[in-house]
Amino acid sequence: MAPKPDISQITRIGIVGAGNMGTMMSFGFSENGLDVSIWDVSEKNVDQAREMAEQTKTLKGKIDHFKDIHEFTKSLNSQPRKIFIFSITHGWPADSVLEKIRDDLKEGDIILDGGNENYRNTERRQRELEPKGVKWIGMGVSGGYQSARRGPSMSPGGDKEAIEFVLPLLEKFSAKSADGKPCVQYMGPRGAGHYVKMVHNGIENGMLSAVCEAWNFLNKSLGLSYEEIGKIFEKWNSEGELRNTYLIQIGSEICRMKKTPQGDQHGEGKGEGYVLDDVLDKVVQDDDNSEGTLYWTVMEAANRHVAAPTIATGHFFRVASGNRAQRLKVVENLKIPKPQRVDAKDKDNLIENLRRAVYASFLCSFCQGLELIARASKDEGWDVNLGKCIQIWRAGCIIQEDHIADMLEPILLNAKEPIMNLKLIDEVASDLRKNFDALKLITLRAIEWDNYVPAISASLEYLKYVGGGMLATQFMEAEMDFFGAHAYDRPNVKGEDPGKPSKGAHHYEWRPA
C-alpha cells in the first residue's frame, strides 16, 4: 500500500453525479473550504450544476465541472490519494462508472459510495477492487438534497483505516447534533454502512406511513383544515414524545404552504388553496426502481426472521398507491366506503390519543429496524454498535426523533453485550405499554370511520403478538402438522417449552394416510 498520507494533503474531492444530491454535496464541501471536481454522465446535469454554482455566493472552495470523465479523474492526481464520492442511482450505474475510471485508479485511492446501494453490491465491489489496493466504502447519506448541502447524516462502512483517514473531512461536512457531535461514525466492515442506511430508510417509511395516516385521520374524519393540522403538528413537534421530530416538523410546514396566484410553473399550480392539493396520492419510487432500500429491508427482515410489520405494511401501502390507474378501476369494482367525516364530541381527546399512537408506531418502527441491524450484525460479524446508529441519526437525517434518541442512546452505547430485542429494555417496554390503549382506540375509530391506518394498526397487532404468551399460531401449528407432518412441541414440557425455534419433537397422525 502507498505510504500513508496526511488528511491535510487532501484539498480536493471528486463527486460523481451532478443531480440534486451531488450538486448540493459539492456546495456543502465547497462552503467548508474544500475544492471540488464534479462529473456526470449527463452533460445537461453538468451544465445545470455549473449555472447553480455561478449563482451561489457562499462558496469558498473552487468547483470545477467536467464532461470528460478522464479529465475529471486527472484533476485529483496532484494529491497522494484520490477521494471520490459517488452520488448516483444504485445498481448498474455505479458499476458502469467504476468500469470507466478503473484504469485511472491507483493504490490508496478511496471511493465513498453515497448512493442507496444494496449492501451485497457494496461488498462485491470491495472484493473486486481489493487486488488494486483501492478502497470502496459503502456510505449511507441521509437527509435528502437539502441536508446534502447543510450537512447530512452519514454511515460509512468498509475498510476501517480508509474510513478513519477520510473521517475528518466527513465530520466537518456532516450534520451536528445539539451537543455539537458530528453525525457520522464508522459503522463496521464490509457492507455494514449501507445496511445501516437501508434500515434507516425502512424505519423512515414506517414513520412516514404513521404520519400520513394521522394527517388523513385529522383531515378526512375529524374535518380539520390544513392550517389546523399544521398547528397540531407544530405543537406535537414542540413538546412531549414527538418533540424535534423531523417528519412532524416538515409536516407542519407542508400543511401551511399556500399557493400563489401565479404558481411557480413547476409543482405549484395557479390559484388559491394549498400546494398539498396539487400532490397526487401515488408514491412511485418502488415502481420505477429509483429506490430499493425499503423493499430490501422488508426482504431482509423476512430472511433474517425479524418481525417488522410497521415497516412492511408501510411499504405495501405505498406499493398499492403507486399504480393509480389500476387502483381507480378497483375503486369502481369494490366500492369500498371512503373515509367518513364525523362530528366527534371528544375531538381534543382523540387528537391526544392520535399523537400517542403515532409515537408508539414510531417506537415500534425503531424497535423493528434496530433489531434487524442487530441480527444482521451478529450474522455477518460486523459488530455494529446500535448506540452509534442513534448518534448519527440525531440530526441531518429523516428519522430524527429526540425523545426516542434520548431514551435509547445511553442504553445502547453502554450495553455490555448486543441487545437483540429492544422490547426487553424497561424504558422501551414502559412507553409501549402506556401507549397501547391509544393505538387501540385510534385503530378502532379508524376502522369504524373507514380511515387508513396500516402502520398504526400493524403496530398495535405487533405489540399484541410479540407480547403474547400463547398465540393463535397454536392452531396453525396443528394444521401444519396435519397436512405436512411438520411436528410440534408440547406446552409445559422441559426442553420443549419454550425450547428452540426448530422442528418440534412430536407428530400426531390426525387422519390415516
Q: Rounded to an integer, what distance in angstroms lies between the CA atom of residue 97 and that of residue 30? A: 23
SS3 readout for 200-246: HHHHHHHHHHHHHHHHHHHHHHCCCCHHHHHHHHHHHHHCHHHCCEH
Q: Rounded mean pLDDT of the chain? A: 94
Q: Is 197 a catalytic residue?
A: yes
Amino acid identity of residue 101, one-letter, is I
Q: Please, what is the end-to-end C-alpha distance for the chain in angstroms? A: 68
Q: Which residues, at least 6 apart from 124, have a Cβ–Cβ distance to it below 8 Å?
A: none
449 vs 21, higher pLDDT:
449
pLDDT tens, 132-177? 999 999 999 998 877 778 899 999 999 999 999 999 999 999 999 9
pLDDT tens, 39-77? 999 999 999 999 999 999 999 999 999 999 999 999 999
The count of C-alpha atoms lying within 13 angstroms of the C-alpha of 503, restricted to the half-sphere facing its C-beta, is: 8
State residue 242's pLDDT score.
Answer: 98
Q: Rounded to an integer, what distance in angstroms lies between the CA atom of residue 504 and that of residue 492? A: 14
Amino acid identity of residue 417, one-letter, is E
* Rounded average pLDDT over 437-460: 98
Q: Is 378 a catalytic residue?
A: no
Catalytic residue (one of 82, 135, 197, 259): 197
Q: Contact, 192 vs 173, CB < 8 A?
A: no
State residue 1's pLDDT score.
Answer: 47
Overall pTM surpassing 0.85 (yes/no): yes
Flag whether pLDDT at 269 surpasses 80: no
Within its chain, how far is the Cα of 207 from the centroid?
9
Q: Residue 11: which pLDDT band, with cuts at 50, 70 and 90? A: very high
Within its chain, how far is the Cα of 173 from the centroid?
20
Catalytic residue (one of 117, 123, 204, 401): 204
* Rounded average pLDDT over 263-290: 81
State residue 5's pLDDT score.
Answer: 77
Beta strand pairing status for 35-39 and 153-157?
unpaired
Which stretches within 32-177 are classed as H helix? 43-54, 69-74, 92-101, 119-129, 144-150, 160-173
State residue 91's pLDDT score.
Answer: 86
